[in-house]
Structure 1
């Protein structure tokens, strides 16, 4: 049994993990997830938001076994190593968790991380909105902890939100516009 992970190419976040048996080669992303990988979050009784990650924005890798990646994939990221022959398996890094720092408003999503990084930090966010999904991308500047991603949302509405911030565990949750 070998651990394979599907990850967001832009940030390295693991968005799915599976243990393959008997596979001699790693399948491509599309054969694993189809055109998009749907992540789901409950919005309450009988309501679920689906946040589809486009297969073109994903990668697949065979990684060293990490049982935690099967239970909580968003807590890990793929660290691709330099080209070496033979090519080594990517390393899975455990990411720092953060609880607060997401503020959804009628004019955008503000993301605040607990600690500033020394370089640019890539950010990708998906927000459900009825039948649509808003896909937002940005960067937190070096030495800063915050970015606001513009999006127009209805006041007091509830949404499924997926936030991937480089170096921090991914967050998939329900958020209300304040």
Structure 2
């Protein structure tokens, strides 16, 4: 068991070490500049997106997740963060195209720089991890499906929030704690 744990941790460290710092900083800049932030993703990428959205809310950002009943319309000046490992998830690409038509900025988080989603987007944050499709050029992994992408994504997006909050100095742990759910 310990060997599997160490291998998974090592794989994620390798993926995160290969992330382009400028791409991550660009997403941070887009977050700071956005009027409102919308996050979209399907399946496990969507779950990681929801965790990211929650942390953005704790950080004091106005953020929504697509598909929720309280999500308003996207507008000019907003940011759509579109997460798709393959960059070809049909619904995510549609949302990105529609948001762009309406004047929103699009930031793709994907493994595929040549994907439909990447081509639509204003900036792309590449996560050099394996997906369930196991395309050529993706790293080897002992993990099934898109686990390597999902886990790396979670840690990378958390790092971007920490970086963004530290740069903006708009909030601190006490303010974030005050925004934490209290109906629990």
* Shared fold (TM-score, shorter chain, > 0.5): no
Give TM-score scaled by structure 2 length.
0.26
Name the one with the larger helix percent: 2
Name the one with the larger strand percent: 1
